[in-house]
Amino acid sequence: MVVLNKIYTKTGDNGTTALGSGERRPKYDLRIEAYGTVDETNSVVGLVRLALGESDPQVDGILSRIQNDLFDLGADLATPDTGQDLGYEPLRITDHQVTAIEEAIDLLNADLTTLRSFVLPGGTPAATYLHLARTVSRRAERLMVELADREQVNPAATRYMNRLSDFFFVASRYLNDKGALDVLWVPGKNR
């Protein structure tokens, strides 16, 4: 259970922060960078939802679920699996959450036109913010993969982030009038 009755604790004044296990690490630690970037992704999803408004309740519902999943993912990363009993069951991203993202991708992608060029960020405001979410989530994924080279990371969490950036791309096209408003890259256009 989360209890937040005092926001500042002063325990981080020395440049460290606590993981879910109680272990303290420097604020620049790769694990902290990874879950901090997951949190940044979540903030961008909030911008997407703000720009989307009430124009597409289906996509907004998916994004709402994703925001909750991203908090789960942050909790997963914040509590490394060391094999030690923590006295509680740590929250982990599951294969079910990965499958849900795949199903959302398939749902939105079914109505899209085939791409014959790369897409530039643009079109509607919500689609443009989805491109920002895509790039931030890719950065989070890169950090998670680097972290997994050094210490344990839940493989389902990494798969989730990989699928999530794909979802953001497909959703951006979907919100660009199913691809009709996509801004396409024209190689060498300005030579």
Q: What is the pTM of this model?
A: 0.93
Instruction: Please give the Cα distance from 141 to 164 (Å, whole number).
Output: 10
Q: What is the pLDDT of residues 117-161, one digit of tens each?
A: 999 999 999 999 999 999 999 999 999 999 999 999 999 999 999
Q: Concatenate the DSSP letters of all residues of 135-169 into one string.
A: HHHHHHHHHHHHHHHHS---HHHHHHHHHHHHHHH
End-to-end CA distance of the chain: give it in Å, rounded. 58
pLDDT digits (tens, 9 = 90+) for 34-70: 999 999 999 999 999 999 999 999 999 999 999 999 9
Query: What would the CATH number be for the domain defined by 27-79+91-183?
Result: 1.20.1200.10
H or E, element range at 58: helix 57-78
pLDDT averaged over every residue in the chain = 94
Measuring CA to CA, which residue among 171, 147, 144, 168 is closest to residue 157?
Answer: 144
Domain ranges, ordered by start, for the chain? 27-79+91-183
pLDDT band at 178 (very low <50, low <70, confident <90, very high): very high
More confident residue, 160 or 9: 160
